[in-house]
Amino acid sequence: MSNEDILKTGTTTVGMKIKDGVILASDQRATMGNIIAHSDVQKVYQLADNLGMTIAGIVGDAQLMVRFIQSEVSIYSMKRGSPMSVKAASTLVGNVMRNGFYLGLIVGGYDTTGGHVFSVDAAGGYIEDNFMSIGSGSTFAMGSLEASYKKNMTKKEAIDVAITALNSSRKRDSASGDGMLISFIGPKGYEEIPQDQIKARCGELGFVYPN
């Protein structure tokens, strides 16, 4: 199978540390070479009540990674009787990535020390930061994030920043687009922002949804 035949997620993913939690977001396009293969792809996943992950890269690798990490986190929590910390989850993901997964990931969550987001590369390295973007459209999203991100943003403010960043990438990166997924993880757990709320806010901000 050639590189042109491999189904990839494109993509633009975003992670942000905000007041009382984190925001994880992505577009929903999958590509195969220069073909748009799917327009409703899951790229933000819940790993546990306090953990989530965004994916960019080969779809098969991404799905296998998500299933494996969800299982390992669940086993850890049952054995320890407490949730896995965000740093521990990022370390676990980084160790698994060293086995040869063609992915770029963001691991985010909330634990006893607050909200954290880590980027994890294909070599297994992981770095914590206040905000980040991974994927083919990340250059454009990062420019938007640099201009808009502020420490201790509220969830509402951060959703606007995520939407604006994804909109910037989908306008310039042909592998990004076709909808948005946004999740918030805070003291009360994992929350997917409803699609009708995302669509309504896009309209209020003057952005066409999904493209």
- For the annotated catalytic residues, the residue numbers are 11
**Distance (Å, rounded) from C-alpha 207 to C-alpha 211?**
8
Q: Where are the beta strands (DSSP E) in the chain?
A: 13-18, 21-27, 30-32, 35-38, 44-48, 51-57, 103-111, 114-120, 126-129, 131-134, 180-186, 189-192
CA nearest 165: which of 6, 8, 27? 27
Q: How far apart are CA 6 and CA 82, in angstroms?
A: 39
Burial call 156-166: b when 16+ CB within 10 Å, e when fewer = ebbbbbbbbbb
Which tokens sit at 169?
């990438």
Cis omega before residue 210 (within 30°)? yes
